[in-house]
Amino acid sequence: MSPPWFGGYLDVTLTPSLRLQDLPPNGTVTTVLSFIGAHPKKPCEPSWDGFYTLDEASRRIDLAGQLKSFRAAGNSAAISFGGQLGKELAGACATEDALVTAYSTVISKYGVDTVDFDVEGDGLKDAAAAARRGAAVARLQAGRPADHPLKVWLTLPVSSEGLTSDGEKTVAAMLDAGVDLTGVNIMVMDFEPLDPGRTMFDAAVSAAEATHRSLSKLYGAAGEQLDSGQVWHRIGLTPMIGENDVKGQVFSLADAERLNSFAVERGIGRVSMWSLNRDAACGAGAQRQVGSAAANNCSGVKQEAGQYARLLGKTLTV
């Protein structure tokens, strides 16, 4: 069983870009680079959220060079596919073979051992894409040496009552395909209206406990009988720090501290956050709300730069 780890998401497409070496010091860390999606004009070609091809990311933001320096300092990186705005490659590539090629191109280029599939919106309802994703990922895992496995996470939306039925089907599709699913990372953010006095931490714990019940059944149905501690280790927690897109919902610094304690106590396998780009106070005059969305480059709360990452990642490994 791998040790629990913390890794914030870094949106590499935002302007001005936040480079890996510019992250506030927080020891050695894992950073989840986001998001790889389908190219808008070449659907089965991987791109960074439609903004850059892989080669353009090397030329325009020196992503390959950033990664080399980042790793030389003892840090690690994972890659996230999908996301809220982009189209996950499984929904764009017409065949399993094409999808295997697309995924392996990204994995090889960036030399990652951990991948994350962030499936949201219409992608949750695409059963054909879920089947292709599962089959392709199983093939990629089968092609790896036993001492160098590919770790696979699914990242899914939740309410305070846990996974949606479509989310459970997405998990089942991976398990049914024979994927060795490292875990399910739940987005504990943008909840339904919460009762007065109920904090974002409270809602996150409720979602985690419900997800624990669901995963016990889903892994069991796939022939993997796990005890309670093993199921907790298959769960990841990702809050949206500070102000959420749902107005009035704020994941506070106190929530972050409590969520870290909960994760350590339960043996949660992974803690992440959306996002490293937002882990700073908003400057004077900064736009904190863009339409229905919270700001993408600051948290909207009074904080020190990097404070959420320090609180959420406390005692967790890379």
Cα–Cα distance list, 53 to 34, 39, 90, 236, 301 (Å): 13, 7, 17, 29, 34
Mean pLDDT of 5-24: 91
Identify the helix (H) or strand (E) that includes residue 53: strand 52-53
Contact (Cβ atoms closer than 8 angstroms) between residue 29 and residue 6: yes
Residue 274: partners with Cβ closer than 8 Å, 6 or more residues away: 8, 9, 187, 189, 238, 239, 240, 241
Reduced to 3 states (helix: H, G, I; strand: E, B; else coil), residue 81 is strand
d(CA 114, CA 184): 13
Instruction: Please count the residues of the chain.
Output: 318
How far does Cα 159 stand from its chain's mean position?
17
Mean pLDDT of 185-209: 98
- pLDDT above 80 for 289: no
d(CA 128, CA 94): 10
Residue 175: partners with Cβ closer than 8 Å, 6 or more residues away: 134, 181, 218, 219, 221, 222, 224
Contact (Cβ atoms closer than 8 angstroms) between residue 99 and residue 89: yes
- pLDDT above 70 for 290: no
d(CA 8, CA 31): 5
Tell me 187's DSSP state. E
Q: In whole numbers, what is the pLDDT of the chain averaged over residues?
A: 96
How far does Cα 193 stand from its chain's mean position?
23
Tokens matching residue 139: 């093939």
CATH 3.20.20.80 fits 5-312, yes or no: yes
Question: For the chain, what is the radius of gyration of the CA atoms?
Answer: 18
- pLDDT above 60 for 318: no
pLDDT in tens, 36-75: 999 999 999 999 999 999 999 999 999 999 999 999 999 9
291 pLDDT band, cuts 50/70/90, is low
Contact (Cβ atoms closer than 8 angstroms) between residue 149 and residue 182: no
25 pLDDT band, cuts 50/70/90, is confident
For 154, list phi and psi in degrees, rounded to 5: -105, 130
2 pLDDT band, cuts 50/70/90, is confident
Tokens matching residue 226: 């796990």
Question: Is the pTM here over 0.95, yes or no?
Answer: yes
Nearest Cα neighbor of 166 from 218, 110, 125 is 125
